[in-house]
């Protein structure tokens, strides 16, 4: 189970009854989840991380040379179908030394089914909202892994054909 490898910073959202639900969580960790699109009775989503380092962005297990990521990985546990969620990332919770390399300034949420972000990774753009960044309408699934990435945008020019 997830609890043997991703048992740190565990938090979640869920609904027990019509009047007993929690649609957002923020426990002072780097990430929080909320705004489930379909949080019905007995729908739950729980996340926990592997206690990986957050003092730097790395290029290992990256799907592109233009992408660095935090070493820390989170894993998702789901009961029912809470729908899509909003994931919030608070970079003020990182150590001061944890900045991506120069030019890697677009944050993305990376989601993968096997925990190796080299292939099969979905990237969701994160929008700055005050001090935090948000990825909205994210379809996390049971057992998915996610982390935060920093993307280096590139502009390529092609010579136009002339007549």
Summary mean pLDDT of the chain: 88
- Can you tell me which residue has the tokens 């001061």? 96
Helices (H), the chain: none
**Tens-place pLDDT, residues 66-106:** 899 999 999 999 999 999 999 999 988 887 667 677 778 88
Query: Looking at 13-17, 101-105, 121-125, which range is the least confident one?
Result: 101-105
Angle, alpha carbons 113-100-139 (nearest 5°):
25
**Model confidence at 18, in pLDDT bands (50, 70, 90)?**
confident
Distance, CA of 63 to CA of 120 (rounded, Å): 8
Averaged over 7-27, what is the pLDDT?
83
Domain ranges of the chain: 2-151
User: Does residue 16 contact residue 79 with C-beta atoms inside 8 Å?
Assistant: no
Question: Which pLDDT belongs to residue 1?
Answer: 60
Global pTM?
Answer: 0.88
Distance, CA of 138 to CA of 128 (rounded, Å): 16
Q: What is the DSSP letter of 5?
A: T
Tokens of 85: 């969620």
**Model confidence at 62, in pLDDT bands (50, 70, 90)?**
very high
Question: Which pLDDT belongs to residue 160?
Answer: 75
């Amino acid at each position: 189970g997830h609890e043997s490898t991703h048992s740190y910073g565990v938090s979640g959202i869920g609904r027990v009854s019509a009047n007993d639900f929690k649609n957002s969580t923020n426990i002072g960790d780097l990430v929080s989840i909320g705004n489930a699109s379909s949080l019905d009775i007995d729908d739950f989503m729980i996340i926990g991380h592997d206690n990986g380092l957050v003092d730097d962005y790395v290029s290992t297990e990256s799907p592109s040379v233009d992408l660095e990521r935090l070493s820390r990985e989170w894993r998702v546990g789901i009961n029912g179908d809470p729908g899509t969620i909003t994931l919030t990332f608070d970079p003020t919770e990182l150590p001061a030394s944890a900045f991506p390399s120069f030019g890697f300034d677009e944050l993305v949420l990376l989601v993968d089914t096997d925990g190796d972000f080299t292939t099969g990774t979905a990237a969701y753009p994160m929008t700055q909202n005050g001090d935090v960044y948000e990825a909205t309408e994210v379809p996390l699934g049971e057992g998915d892994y996610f982390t935060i990435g920093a993307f280096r945008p590139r502009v390529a020019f092609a010579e136009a054909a002339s007549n």
